[in-house]
Amino acid sequence: MTTPCAAATCHRELRDTEQTNGQTICTPCSDTIRVWLRELPTQIIVLEGSRQRETTGTSSGGRTVHRTAPLPGRPDILNLLGPAAWADGIRDPYGDAHADQQGQLPIAGVLIPWVRLITEERRWNPPAVLTPQALAAWLAAPKPLAWASRQPWAGDMRDELHELIRVVRSTTRLRPGRRPIAQPCPRCDSLTLVETDHQLYIDCTHPDCGAMFTRVELAFAASIHPETLKAGAA
Ligand SMILES: [Zn+2]
Ligand SMILES: [Zn+2]
């Protein structure tokens, strides 16, 4: 009997070792969460930079124009960098915590409910400060992430963080480098595999597939379908 990874955006079946470990999401999903969380501080530097540029006075003819009021920042950036309160981070792990939310939550507002849920269930100390950087580092640490990956809500966490990094990347236009791979996807057979900087897994970008593979898995797939590989590389 096979059990699918609990993340809606992942199509892997859980392996025996992952099931024995009690995981509800696959190891590639767990590793990908860590990659996203570690990317957030760099993205935040870019967001902060964009905010500053837009609130700094312009210069004309070499002298700074006197500015009476700061220009308003881009609301989407200000919103992403906005504060969020620990008290607002109560999460019902079996409900949709954001069903009544309008628009994009601040980065901290997405992270706090997950951090709070884990700290309360495990009685672990939360990060000393609630900056998005500190929250992301806390959540990406081995113990919290490994424990979270075994919970029934891990798939929801993965999907929410995926949506967050997607919004952040489209706001900063800063995306990790991506390159196509000349090998058909072992799952859907289309030439849509892409490798991404700093990421262990190669993703299929076909909208109906979204599979993830390690290099070893792809080499294995190529070795059992050499004619497919040849056709794909041609
Ligand atoms: Zn998965
Ligand atoms: Zn595919």
Q: Are residues 19 and 79 in the same domain?
A: yes
Indicate whether 61 belongs to any domain.
no
The C-alpha atoms of residue 139 and residue 127 are separated, in whole angstroms, by 9
Question: Which ligand ends up closest to the CA of 187?
Answer: 2
Q: Are residues 10 and 44 in the same domain?
A: yes
Q: Are residues 161 and 182 in the same domain?
A: no
What pLDDT score does 198 carry? 79
The C-alpha atoms of residue 94 and residue 156 are separated, in whole angstroms, by 9
Q: Are residues 112 and 158 in the same domain?
A: yes
The residues placing their C-beta within 5 Å of ligand 1, an ion, are 5, 7, 10, 12, 25-26, 29
Q: Are residues 77 and 114 in the same domain?
A: yes
Indicate whether 145 belongs to any domain.
yes
- C-alpha 211 to ligand 1 mean position (Å): 9
- C-alpha 198 to ligand 2 mean position (Å): 21
- C-alpha 87 to ligand 2 mean position (Å): 41
- C-alpha 21 to ligand 1 mean position (Å): 14
Q: Which pTM does this prediction carry?
A: 0.77
What pLDDT score does 35 carry? 93
Q: Which of 176, 220, 223, 224 is nearest to 200 (CA)?
A: 176
Indicate whether 66 belongs to any domain.
no
What pLDDT score does 55 carry? 47
Q: Are residues 159 and 213 in the same domain?
A: no
What pLDDT score does 234 carry? 44
Indicate whether 137 belongs to any domain.
yes
Question: Which ligand ends up closest to the CA of 207?
Answer: 2
What pLDDT score does 156 carry? 95
- C-alpha 220 to ligand 2 mean position (Å): 16
- C-alpha 10 to ligand 2 mean position (Å): 11
The ranges of the chain with pLDDT < 70 are 52-72, 90-102, 225-234
User: Which among 134, 154, 175 is the end of a domain?
Assistant: 175
- C-alpha 212 to ligand 1 mean position (Å): 8
DSSP state of 93: T
Q: 35-69: buried (b, 16+ CB within 10 Å) or exposed (e) per residue?
A: bbbebbeebbebbeebbeeeeeeeeeeeeeeeeee
Residue span of the structural domain in which 38 resides = 1-53+73-94+104-175
What pLDDT score does 51 carry? 76
What pLDDT score does 93 carry? 57
Q: Which of 126, 151, 115, 206 is nearest to 6 (CA)?
A: 151
Structurally, the chain folds into a number of domains equal to 2
Q: Are residues 188 and 129 in the same domain?
A: no
Indicate whether 59 belongs to any domain.
no
